[in-house]
Amino acid sequence: MSKPEVLAVAKLHPFYQKALESVYTVHDRTHLTEPAAFAALGPRIVGVAGTGESSVPRSLLSQLPNAKVVAVFGVGYDGVDVQAAIEHGIPVTHTPDVLTDDVADLAMGLVLSVGRAIPQADQFVRAGQWPNGPMALGRRVSGARLGIVGLGRIGKAIALRARAFGMSIAYTARSEKPESGFKFFVTAKELAANVDFLVVITPGGAGTKHLINADVLKALGPSGFLINVARGSVVDEEALIEALQNATIAGAGLDVFASEPHVPQALWSLPQVVLTPHIASATSQTRQAMADLAFANMLAGVSGQPLISPVPECMAMAK
């Protein structure tokens, strides 16, 4: 008997790909590589698999009359047109919680990296510069003021870690969270003006596009550092490059970029910037847990069972 067919809309992590292949025939991006042939294939597709950065537009969903679920390998799903999916009766799932600790770990890693110039120190030793004299001094992290833009699952996990470093914590979000005990600022600009490290960890998409703009960076000031582990779209990348080049801010730690996997050359040459290639959830343990959860959602969706982790907008469809 032939296997049910699913569509991968991006190159999937091997853990997820392998799990899907054990049950389904997986069509790898054929909607992009063979759009004409896809017209015949579309009605056979029962599920869509993607990553947190994948694009699932209305035009694709309308070609999938028998799809029962979009199972995203990632907590972010800003590339999925969720409203269109709901209108087509296709619930969307994601992988929250299982990656929270890893992303918070990397955010703190970037705080330490930029503050204490750890990658630069490594380069300094490897380049044989130590015998010529000491490195420039770093910026103390313990006891510094941390601002978190987005106090959700990951934002709270970052706060927990920062507490162990004796940092004071303030945040902004769509709504105040009095139970957190942290100081709330209504805008990112006000928050930036009152912290040493500003960590961005909101969802991407239209609601947060360029939330961190030239004004916010100016408010962060010449001794402030920006960390972005959210989405490239949340920060105005041109404004950030300008702020770094003009020493409007002290430095930046960036895991995400506007046009991944392409990183502007202007960032490569700036010594006060630490760059990582979207690796915040990239440990074997977490990628396995994400694959397990995404696969479980695919199985549940295709077989009409209750979904394990639907996105909030699709909770009502998930029962």
Distance of CA 8 to the CA centre of its chain: 20
Other beta carbons within 10 angstroms of residue 306's beta carbon come to 9
202 binds, among ligand NAP, ligand 8YV, none (CB under 5 to 8 A by kind): ligand NAP
Cβ distance to ligand 8YV smaller for residue 85 or 154: 154
Residue 203 beta carbon to ligand NAP: minimum distance, rounded to whole angstroms: 3
Angle between helices 100-116 and 118-126 (to 10 degrees): 60
Residue 13 beta carbon to ligand 8YV: minimum distance, rounded to whole angstroms: 7
Does 258 help bind ligand NAP (rule: CB under 6 A)?
no
What is the spatial distance between Cα 90 and Cα 173, in angstroms, rounded to a whole number?
Answer: 29
> Do 48 and 91 contact (CB within 8 A), yes or no?
no
Residue 91 beta carbon to ligand NAP: minimum distance, rounded to whole angstroms: 17
Candidates 31, 189, 231, 287: give the one binding ligand NAP (CB under 6 A).
Answer: 231
What is the spatial distance between Cα 225 and Cα 236, in angstroms, rounded to a whole number?
Answer: 15
> Do 311 and 93 contact (CB within 8 A), yes or no?
yes
Residue 33 beta carbon to ligand NAP: minimum distance, rounded to whole angstroms: 26
What is the spatial distance between Cα 198 and Cα 216, in angstroms, rounded to a whole number?
Answer: 10
Residue 260 falls in the annotated catalytic set: yes
53 binds, among ligand NAP, ligand 8YV, none (CB under 5 to 8 A by kind): ligand 8YV
Cβ distance to ligand NAP smaller for residue 202 or 248: 202
Q: Which residue is catalytic, options 260, 262, 287, 313?
A: 260
Note the residues at the interface with ligand 8YV (CB under 6 A): 51-53, 73-76, 99, 278, 281
Taking phi over 0 as left and psi of -120 to 50 as alpha, with beta for the rest, 26 belongs to: beta
Q: Which residue is catalytic, options 94, 231, 237, 287?
A: 231
Residue ranges that bind ligand NAP, judged by CB under 6 A = 75-76, 96, 99, 103, 150-155, 172-175, 201-204, 207-208, 211, 229-231, 255-256, 278, 280-281
Q: Which residues are catalytic?
A: 231, 260, 278
